[in-house]
Amino acid sequence: MAAIQISNVQKSYQSAGKKLQALGGVSLAIEEGEFFGLLGPNGAGKTTLISIIAGLNRADSGQVLVQGHDVVRDYRAARSKLGVVPQELVFDPFFTVRETLRLQSGYFGIKNNDAWIDEVMENLDLTNKADANMRALSGGMKRRVLVAQALVHKPPVIILDEPTAGVDVELRQTLWKFISRLNREGHTIVLTTHYLEEAQALCNRVAMLKAGKVVALDTMSALIKRISGSQMKVQLAQSALSAPLPSSLHNLIIPADTQAEANSFALRITNYAEVEPILANLRQAGCVVEDLQLQQADLEDVFLQIMGGGNPQ
């Protein structure tokens, strides 16, 4: 049984008399114990999908199951299995941190939960703020409390929607250490983030959404290898560049960073056997190579290629 089973979910909205499709038939399964990345640009449908999984929104058609429980017909059981950390900083200004977490425990019918609340606060570095009023906390501390609220009933499935947006490095390290521990203990983690280096370091498998549809779904290593291959970064001696680059290399050039020097560029290659022919073409054009680096492509390269119209799944 999958931790989350999403089957042909569709959702549209009406705006100014026009129908806007947020999700166009999304289907995927997130397995028990996975650390799963749900990625895509703004407006791709990620938050709409999470809202449907959490029961905060209802799909026009299709079905979502959380550990076998339908989020519409069996919503109480589905929500008890799920902990969601939202993007927005939503809090009650009248309670302390500890009172907020006790109240959240009560929503799930959990009594005498102080031992787990203390452990969660310690792991999120909130212990010294336990008796502080929520409105007195910084934005980063409020976000830690949101994470603690999602974990207070020990849900087997945890969804993190941009949990580190706008927060400091310390919180990121603290959060990922604790979440990785929960994942090792068997909790299923679903992460949406624009920090692709986080997703690459943490996620076993990734789905990418574009305009409300899944355009890539694979393991992290397979996706990087299959979509982007490797990069060959070359720096030429400016004084020795006597002719334009060979036309045979133009279709391999990756768009340059705005900070890159005029005589530096990167080429996309699929295997290392292509390196020598490229160097031969450069020598024939009168180019002198000052520096050469071979790098494995990363998730950012994959993301940019797919969102720019590259290979779908």
Asked, for residue 201, whether it belongs to a domain, the answer is no
Distance CA 35, CA 187 (A): 9
Which band of pLDDT confidence, cut at 50, 70 and 90, is reported for residue 312?
very low
User: How many Å is the maximal CA-CA distance in the chain?
Assistant: 77
Share of the chain above pLDDT 70, in %: 89
| Residue 110 placed within a domain | no
Residue 243 belongs to some domain of the structure: yes
163 contacts: CB under 8 Å, gap ≥ 6:
85, 143, 146, 147, 175, 191, 193
Judged by average pLDDT, the poorest of 66-80, 188-202, 254-268 is 254-268
Residue 23 lies in a domain: no
Q: Is residue 311 part of a domain?
A: no
* pLDDT on residue 313: 44
pLDDT at 311 over 70: no
270 domain-assigned: yes
Residue 234: φ, ψ to 5°:
-125, 135
Is 132 contained in some domain?
Answer: no
Question: Structural domain tally of the chain?
Answer: 1
Stretch 71-83: mean pLDDT: 94
Confidence of residue 259 (pLDDT cuts 50, 70, 90): very low
Give the pLDDT score at 239.
Answer: 58
| Higher per-residue pLDDT: 241 or 89 | 89
Give the pLDDT of residue 168.
79
The mean-pLDDT minimum among 161-170, 259-268, 272-281, 294-303 falls in: 259-268
- pLDDT tens digits for 136-191? 988 888 888 999 999 999 999 999 998 887 777 888 888 899 999 999 999 999 99
Q: What is the mean pLDDT of residues 76-88?
A: 91
Cα 20 off chain centre by: 24
Owning domain of residue 243: 230-296
Over residues 11-48, the pLDDT tens digits come to 998 877 788 899 999 999 999 999 999 999 988 999 99
Q: Is residue 260 part of a domain?
A: yes
At residue 185, the pLDDT reads: 94
Most confident of 79-83, 167-171, 295-299: 79-83
Domain of 246, CATH number, reads 3.30.70
How would residue 261 be classed by pLDDT, with cut points 50, 70 and 90? low
Instruction: For residue range 221-253, list pLDDT tens digits in order.
Output: 888 876 656 777 888 876 554 556 666 676 666
By percentage, how much of the chain surpasses pLDDT 90? 53
**Mean per-residue pLDDT over the chain, rounded:** 86
Confidence at residue 240, expressed as pLDDT on a 0 to 100 scale: 52
